[in-house]
Structure 1
Amino acid sequence: MAPLMVVAAAFVAFSLPPYLSLDPAQSRVPAPDFFPPHFAVLSLHVVFGSIAMITCCLQIWPWFRARYPRAHRRIGRVYVFAGCLPSGLLGLTVGVATPWGPVTMVSNVLLALLWLGCTLAGWRMARQRRFADHRRWMVRSFALTMSIVTNRIYGVLFGILFFPQLDTTFNGDETQLMQTIAALSAWLGWVLPLLVAEWWLERTDAAKRRARTRTRTHRST
């Protein structure tokens, strides 16, 4: 848990300040000409997303959940209603207005919809006291929440890989280069973490089923 919290805190500390400055020139995403309120919407998306990132680190900590169940429930409400939901809804707008091309736009919109859907499903399962299902949906929500970190990592890696090819592969077209990097980073950034989350869920569930089978077999003998 400590490395995860350090990564989340460092990412928020790096990403948030430009959007608290109220200065559009500090934005790390260029604003499209057709959407003047882009910086304001993006800033709110980042602020609420930062709340989601910090609170989800506590939510997936088994020791914290077991030791402080009431705090887990309260922080869970903050995660859902002050983090994921507003950030996801704003992310839909930011995703549609992305300056990085249609491939990135589709990825961003799909990510926002899945993030909202998984988070709402997890909250609904908790309300119905279906805690096993709640856990599964919230693991998916966590993977999507933290996918922004892997997105940025891929962006750096693809930048290192493709920038030397600007004059060859991309014929000197910087726009095409940036859209390619953004599209690859956008899709891999959330698809791979979600696949890993599904693999982990299936693996742990299979282990539990084997344990139950061994227990029944032992009792029958």
Structure 2
Amino acid sequence: MAPLALVVAVFLAYSVPPYLTLDPARSRVPAPPGFPAHYWFLVAHITFGTIAIVGVILQIWPWLRRKHPVVHRRVGRVYVFAGAIPAAVMAATIGAVSPFGPVVGTLDVVAALLWLGFTIAGWRAIRQRRYAEHRKWMIRSFAMTMSTLTSRALSPIAFLLVMPRVEDKSELILSAGTLSAVLSILSLLLLSQWWLDRKPKRPATAR
């Protein structure tokens, strides 16, 4: 948990500060033409996303789940309703008008819809006391919460793969961004499924 929490803290320390001033000029994402509210949707996504990524770190902490189940449930509600769901809706909205082209925009929308669907499925499962299914859906929701962070981490690899094939700088940035987004989504989905499949099944009496 400690290394993961440290990585998340570094990511937030780098990503969030430019938006604390609410100055559109400091935005790292250019506003697409014809959508003047883009910046405010982006700020909302970052705000809700910050709540989601901090909340999900607490949710996957085994000690907190075992020792403080009430806190786990309360943080879970915050994660779902003040974090993942609104952040995913905002991400789908700004992804649909992405200034980085239709491919990146489509990937953003797909990741947002997966995040939204996994989170809602996990919430419904726990409301119906289907604990095993709740765990599975929430692990997938956790994976999508980490999508942006993973995409940033994979960007250097994407640049190294694309650089020998692309000479134009703007095309290089776009191609590397597209590749890192694809690698992020696929790797997270595959790793989360691998994690679920590798866990040994406990006997029914233990469950």
Which TM class, normalised by the smaller chain length? over 0.9
Deviation at 1:182, TM superposition (A): 1.4
Cα pair 1:51 1:79 within 8 Å, conserved = yes
How many equivalent pairs are there? 205
1:1-221 correspondence to structure 2 within 5 Å:
1-163=1-163, 165=164, 169-172=165-168, 174-204=169-199, 207-208=200-201, 212=203
Instruction: Give the Cα separation in 1 of the matches to 2:25 and 2:156.
Output: 22
CA-based RMSD of the aligned residues comes to 1.7
Distance in 2 (alpha carbons) for counterparts of 1:98 and 1:185: 16
TM-score by length of structure 1 reads 0.87
Identity of aligned residues (%): 49
TM-score (norm 2): 0.93
Instruction: Give the match's secondary structure for 2:36.
Output: coil
Question: Deviation per CA, 1:131-173, whole angstroms, max 9, x where unpaired?
Answer: 111000000000110121110012233235545x4xxx4343x
Task: Give the aligned partner of residue 218 of structure 1.
Answer: none
Asked if structure 2 preserves the Cα contact closer than 8 Å seen for 1:147 and 1:189, the reply is: yes
- Report Cα offsets for 1:118-137 as digits up to 9, x if no partner: 00000011101111110000
**Alignment-mate amino acid for residue 19 of structure 1:** Y
The structure number with the bigger radius of gyration is: 1
Inter-partner Cα distance in structure 2 for 1:199 and 1:59: 20
- Structure 1 residues 172-213: Cα deviation after superposition (integer angstroms, max 9, x where no partner): 3x3322221111111111221111000110111xx21xx649
On the 8 A contact 1:100/1:178 being kept in 2, the answer is no
Residue pair 1:148, 1:190 contacting (<8 A) in 2 also: no
1:219 aligns with none
